[in-house]
Amino acid sequence: MDRNLFTADHDRYREVVREFVIREVAPNLERWDRDRLIDRPVWLAAGKQGLIGLSIPEADGGGGQPDYRYQVVLIEELARAGAASLISSFSLQDNIVAPYVQELGTAEQKRRWLPGMAAGELIGAIAMSEPGAGSDLQGVRTTARRDGEHWVVNGQKTFITSGVNADFVIVVARTDPDAGSRGFSLIVVETGTPGFTRGRKLDKIGLHAQDTAELFFDNVRVPAANLLGEEGRGFVQLMERLPLERLSIATAALAGAEAVFAETRRYCFERTAFGKPIGDFQNTRFQLAEMSTELDVTRAYHDQAVRALNDGTLSAVDAAKAKWWATELQKRVIDRCLQLHGGYGYMLEYPVAKAFLDSRIQTIYGGTTEIMKEIIGRDLARTAG
């Protein structure tokens, strides 16, 4: 089936991305995994090449190109190289943190953070999850108390993507403990602020190169000017921006599954057993046929969601559908591909093994599969009859 999502401009951009991956990414993947950290040079190289900060307005140092299809191209090419950790890091920067600053920030905040983000000189993070609050953000206990011209932040965050590398963190905090969902605000805490410390770099099952950390706030005094958006509207501001975050996870899931499937398809017609390629056995062919069909069908829905995002019509419900379906598909496809590799699939030198580990988080972060189904189910109940 032909894919008509992209134009000639996207195809030319893909060539630029491929060259970047060959030069800056592929030679460093093993070292990043070994070091449990993606170092700064690739961020600077991506900024110089215009591969990050593409949606940031030109006036703020970015590419001024909000078309999400360019992000799809970048994610697909990184997935082809097996760079899942870098996808996570770049997607956080461009599809989560930058939009918050761009859409909610004051003129001064935009000048302070966006040019550095577009250049790869500043790395941002967002701190939602806590030891006792994951998908249920209303369980957040971190507080920010106004004291004159400052906010005083106290609390703890965990599972924070880019938590080690981040130069600033958007912290979800309670600013009014008696206001329920209207008592949350977003406060930006910058590296070096007294009382702001990082805990462990967490040791994960997969995404080893992607730095994930615990963060601690002990009477951290933050200038009042670091409030992002409106006081008390933090929860609403989070909900309004979740469709893009969830679609970006779906994009990574689909791209990752397609990359592993392509490699497995080649393997099945190169690997022989009982005197012929294993791809010539009916069971293998049926497995490949089923996965190919599921990927094609999922791609059609994903591409429709991309168009809706570009048009400003992607709903939270449709984004939830894309997120849970694509991530569960990724998990399922990679598991089946590993099985087709036999014993070699269990060896980390084969891409399918690393993909098996890296993909497991996809159905959890950004809202679990169960939360996605709850969002969809509530909408069905609300519109019943």
DSSP labels for 150-180?
Answer: EEEEEEEEEEEETTTT-SEEEEEEES-TTSG
DSSP labels for 283-300?
Answer: HHHHHHHHHHHHHHHHHH
Q: What count of Cα atoms within 13 Å lies in the side-chain half-sphere of residue 164?
A: 17
Q: What count of Cα atoms within 13 Å lies in the side-chain half-sphere of residue 219?
A: 0
- The overall longest dimension of the chain from CA atoms, in Å, is 79
Rg (Cα) of the chain, in Å, rounded?
Answer: 21
CB 213 within 8 A of CB 172: no
Bridge-based pairing of strands 168-174 and 124-127 is: parallel
Q: Is position 245 annotated as part of the catalytic site?
A: yes
Q: How many residues does the chain have?
A: 385
**254 to 50, 99, 138, 299: CA distances (angstroms):** 24, 23, 30, 7
* List of residues 6+ apart from 117 with CB closer than 8 A: 52, 53, 56, 62, 93, 97, 98, 101, 123, 124
CB 123 within 8 A of CB 129: no
Q: Which residues pair with 276 in a beta bridge?
A: 273
Q: Given the structure tokens 């400052």, which residue do they identify?
A: 150
Marked catalytic residue, from 24, 214, 231, 245: 245
Query: Annotated catalytic sites, by residue?
Result: 245
